[in-house]
Amino acid sequence: MSDISSPRLPVDAVIPHLQQALRTHTCALLQAEPGAGKTTRVPLALLHEPWLQGRRILMLEPRRLAAVHAARYMSKQLRERLGQTVGYTIRHERAVSASTRIEVITEGVLTRRLQHDPELEGVGLIIFDEFHERNIHSDLGLALSYEVQQGLRPELRLLLMSATLESTHIATQLDQCPVLHSAGRTYPVTIHYCGDSSLALAQQVSGAVEQGLQHQGDILVFLPGAGEIRRCQKLLRTQSWAQEVQILPLYGALSFEEQQRAILPGSRRKVVLATNIAETSLTIENIGVVVDSGLERQLLFDVARGMNSLPTRRIAQSSAIQRAGRGGRQRAGHCYRLWSEATQQSLAPHQCPEIMRSDLSALALELACWGVEDGSKLRWIDPPPAAHLNAAFALLHQLGAVDQERCLTPLGRRMAQLPLHPRLARMVAGATTSAEQALACRLAIILEHPHQFRRNLHQSAGGRTSSSDILDILEGWSGQMYESRRYGGKEIERSLAVLLRKLNLAANVEAELAVDRIGELGIGELVLAAYPDRVAQRRGSKREEYLLRSGGGARLSPRSNMEAQEWLVALELERNQGAGAHALIHMGSVVQIEQILRAFPAETRWRHETFWDADKQRVVARRCRRLGALILQEQPCAVEPEDALPLLLQQIRTRGLETLGWNGASTDLYARISFVAQHHLVNAWPPVTPEYLLAQLEDWLSPWLLGITSLQELQRLDLCPPLLALLSWSQQQQLDKLAPQKVKVPSGSHLRVDYADPHQPRLAVKLQELFGLRQSPRVGGGQVLLLLELLSPARRPIQTTTDLANFWDTTYTEVKKELKGRYPKHPWPDDPTTAVAQRGVKRRR
């Protein structure tokens, strides 16, 4: 029974309805506004329901600190010690006993329980608290729990609780389960919009905190990350009023003691600088003022490039409401929003669920352990994107955790037993000797908590550079590189101890990890096992730019202490913002080419490659050992003609027919063939359009390309033979008749016909050479008139016409008057149709 002296809370009014709903349904949703008391009231109220007799309640909290506080508070309500009726289990820490009926856990703990005991023996109710936070673990935990309920435990109850819940959508996914609503216990909060400012965030926060000090209560400041918290803390401590308050940080990597200092009441007024850890899960005593930056870090996964980014983004409107509500839990409060009312209207209503935007490799490994190769078979609130899930299973296959059919391998099963990301689990599970295993455990802890280590790494590096960021950290692990009592130091040591215990390694095994032996133990091999897709090769002379195995570009970031290396493994890689931007290598470690060859023997076999060298403008060949886009070793060799042909054809298709060496003869021949095609003078004549020629390159050009390997040779190729090969022998004979290269004029000259315009061929001819000819000459078997370009004796254009008779009748007289005086030695007869044509000047008598 709960403490009868505890004050009545708003959720108490809806609890009878909730009890009734769970007596008749196996799923229910409770939407309770902030301050309703759902987290600590509901489990105690349901504990003695008939359907729960002899069974326990599991309540999931999205954050470890919230889980511990909820369990402590409920134990206090029962006037019991923690671990009796109410206990908790979080990562590396547990307080339960045989009498525990309510166990508060984090979502990852539920997944482990389900994998080891799918029936959840002894559990009657699972409560998903603060479900609106929607992390991957909560979505997966609900999907697996629902499948257990439908297939194995029809009496198992599921209850989802949240302050802001898209209840209609979720209820639909859970077979239209009942939805209950509870009002909250909040006081009015006055919203102050500070406007969109260009000032640095720390300066904006300082100004808002100074205004907030005019009101009652402690001040809670929401910031996107630990870096911003430290910068704000540093600036606030310089203010004149700083001596009157405690300025305390609150984020997940802090020790439990430091988090407690921020949460519990103190002797002085507090300014708590927090991430969104304080948004819903935790109640911080005596908050009267909220300063909201409106920003948060949001993990995004880029499927195409296979890497995460952690951009700072605007929060959703639901988060803004939650944050403001923290100022009205105990009194009327104030919220200073560091943005404008117009910006508020542009915020998205809800945040995109983590399962829709994150790396799903850990989820994919859990699905493989569950025996599900197709994630769509589970009932999800929002199904994971197929592209993300496919990328996750592809990585697991590359790590050796699943086979081609996505079935778990023995190595994958060992990986799943370790509380690590699949990459790091692969590194630890693949280590052989006890010394290698101990080293792999340390590497895994560093790579799991890079931010805690990096801060101290830079402080101790003193501007020096090295061949490996992670080696620097290992060298200083037992020294003064990081303060064990701060920045999650205790959590780090505890995580390492748990890993060593799981591998049955005694703590003194680490004595074998003397710094001078680390190279012998092979850091390179270990990190290659964890990051097979992150091998990078330096780009030529560009010291800090690298080409990744995937073909993407990357560069060493200012966070790394590495000096440029020929080969490295990118241990922490982040997609940089902006189109075409390089990814950033925040942490890397050198590897030798021999280590790469040993790690990937199948992928790096010698292969023969033929390719187009854009610099040399020719086809070249080599034997090479390649890893994805990276060339490890290469040897030049001779080009085989059959290998060069497809590359030459591709160059022609890409560049167009103008790549070929067109000269006057081939251009004229092509024009003549096109003329016959355009006028449909012969049946079954090839169309010879540029599109046709490009599409049929293999047929008409390939036989003439054998032995050619360069653009220069290609441009020297005589195109007349391949063009004629488009025509049969009889068609070639018809071509000469229908589109003759030259025609004979009355003077006896044989003049070239210009077919450049296949619709209208032209003939340039001096006027005197046409005397005696009444009608315009024709080609195309007499079907197409030539366009005559009539020239003066100096071969200057006079006029163009296809009607020579009309020219003689109407225009010749005027031309004669104008040109006879200019060219007196040339004949200008009165009747050109009866005169004798001649090439030169007048004949002497």
pLDDT attached to residue 722: 96
Tell me how far apart the terminal alpha carbons of the chain are, to the nearest angstrom: 142
Residue 770 has pLDDT above 80, yes or no: yes
Question: Can you tell me the distance from the alpha carbon of 711 to that of 837, in angstroms, rounded to the nearest whole number?
Answer: 49
Of the pLDDT bands very low, low, confident and very high (cuts 50, 70, 90), residue 152 is: very high
SS3 at position 528: helix
pLDDT (average), residues 588-601:
93
Cα 828 from Cα 817, distance rounded (Å): 9
User: What is the DSSP code string of 629-654?
Assistant: TEEEEEEEEPPPHHHHHHHHHHHHHH
Please state which of the ranges 184-193, 391-400, 456-465, 784-793 shows the lowest mean pLDDT: 456-465
User: Where does the pLDDT of residue 652 fall: very low under 50, low under 70, confident under 90, or very high at 90 and above?
Assistant: very high
Least confident of 177-181, 260-264, 289-293, 423-427: 260-264
> Residue 456: pLDDT band by 50, 70, 90 thresholds?
low
Cβ count near 89 (within 10 Å): 21
Higher-scoring residue by pLDDT: 448, 282 = 448
Lowest mean pLDDT among 201-215, 350-364, 601-615, 690-704: 350-364
Question: Of 695, 686, 716, which is closest to residue 704 (Cα–Cα)?
Answer: 716
Interacting residues of 354 by C-beta distance below 8 A, sequence separation 6+: 134, 135, 136, 139, 299
Distances in Å between the alpha carbon of 239 and those of 205, 215, 219, 261, 778?
12, 18, 15, 22, 99
H or E segment and range at residue 338: none
Q: Of 485-494, 498-507, 550-559, where does mean pLDDT reach its minimum?
A: 485-494
Q: What percent of the chain has pLDDT over 90?
A: 66
Q: Give the residue carrying structure tokens 């108490």.
A: 12
Q: CA torsion sign, 495 to 500 to 502 to 506?
A: negative
> What is the predicted pLDDT for the residue at 449?
79
Q: What is the pLDDT of residue 844?
A: 54
Angle at 298 between CA 295 and CA 301, to 5 degrees: 155
Query: Shortest CA distance to 21 belongs to which of 204, 159, 199?
Result: 159
Domains, the chain, ranges and CATH?
Answer: 10-182 (3.40.50.300), 189-356 (3.40.50.300), 434-600 (no CATH), 654-738 (no CATH), 742-819 (no CATH)
Q: In sequence order, what DSSP letters do the residues of 22-44 get, joined into one string?
A: HHH-SEEEEEE-TTS-HHHHHHH
Across residues 544-572, what is the average pLDDT? 90
Residue 490 has pLDDT above 80, yes or no: no
pLDDT above 80 (res 455)? no
Query: What pLDDT does 462 receive?
Result: 47
Higher pLDDT, 282 or 389: 389
The predicted pLDDT at position 272 comes to 94
Provide the pLDDT confidence category of residue 72 given band limits of 50, 70 and 90: very high
| Average confidence (pLDDT) over 69-95 | 93
Q: List Cβ neighbours of 700 (8 Å cut-off, separation of 6 or more).
A: 693, 722, 723, 725, 726
How confident is the model at residue 166, as a pLDDT?
A: 72
Q: Which of 175, 186, 164 is nearest to 35 (CA)?
A: 186
Q: How confident is the model at residue 299 (pLDDT cuts 50, 70, 90)?
A: confident
Quote the tokens at residue 175. Answer: 């077979």
- Using DSSP bridges, classify how beta strands 218-222 and 269-274 pair: parallel, antiparallel or unpaired: parallel
Our measurement of the distance from residue 565's CA atom to the centroid of its chain's CA atoms, rounded to an integer in Å, reads: 26
How many Å apart are CA 531 and CA 440, to the nearest integer? 13
3 state DSSP class of 156: coil
Q: Which residue has the higher pLDDT, 304 or 338?
A: 338
pLDDT at 315 over 60: yes
- Amino acid 840: pLDDT: 76
In which band, very low, low, confident or very high, does the pLDDT at 208 lie, cut at 50, 70 and 90?
very high
Task: Beginning with the edge strand found earlier in the chain, give each strand of the sheet holding 287-292 in spatial order.
Answer: 189-193, 333-337, 287-292, 218-222, 269-274, 245-250
Average pLDDT over residues 444-465: 67
Q: What is the mean pLDDT of the chain?
A: 88
* pLDDT confidence tier of residue 283, bands split at 50, 70 and 90: confident
Asked if the model's pLDDT at residue 837 lies above 70, the reply is yes
Distance CA 601, CA 551 (A): 20
Q: Average of pLDDT values for 369-382?
A: 91
Residue 515 binned pLDDT confidence (cut-offs 50, 70, 90): low
pLDDT over 80 (residue 484) = no
pLDDT, residue 495, reads 83
Token couple for 4: 């009868």
Per-residue pLDDT of 469-481, as tens digits, reads 888 888 776 544 4
Cβ 148 vs Cβ 114: under 8 Å: yes
Instruction: Please report the pLDDT score of residue 481 as a whole number.
Output: 41
* C-beta of residue 718 within 8 angstroms of C-beta of residue 666: yes
pLDDT surpasses 80 at 292: yes
Comparing 50-59, 159-168, 423-432, 756-765, which segment has the lowest mean pLDDT?
Answer: 159-168
Alpha helices in 286-371 (DSSP H): 317-325, 341-346, 361-370
Is the pLDDT confidence value at 453 over 90? no
At 705-734, the pLDDT tens digits run 999 999 999 999 999 999 999 999 999 999
Q: Of 177-181, 265-269, 670-674, 758-762, give the lowest mean pLDDT range.
A: 265-269
**Token pair for 698:** 């293999």
β-sheet bridge partners, residue 247: 271
From residue 689, alpha-carbon distances to 263, 325, 681, 694 in Å are: 79, 72, 16, 9
- Give the 3-state secondary structure of residue 205: helix
Number of other residues whose CB lies within 10 A of the CB of residue 655: 12
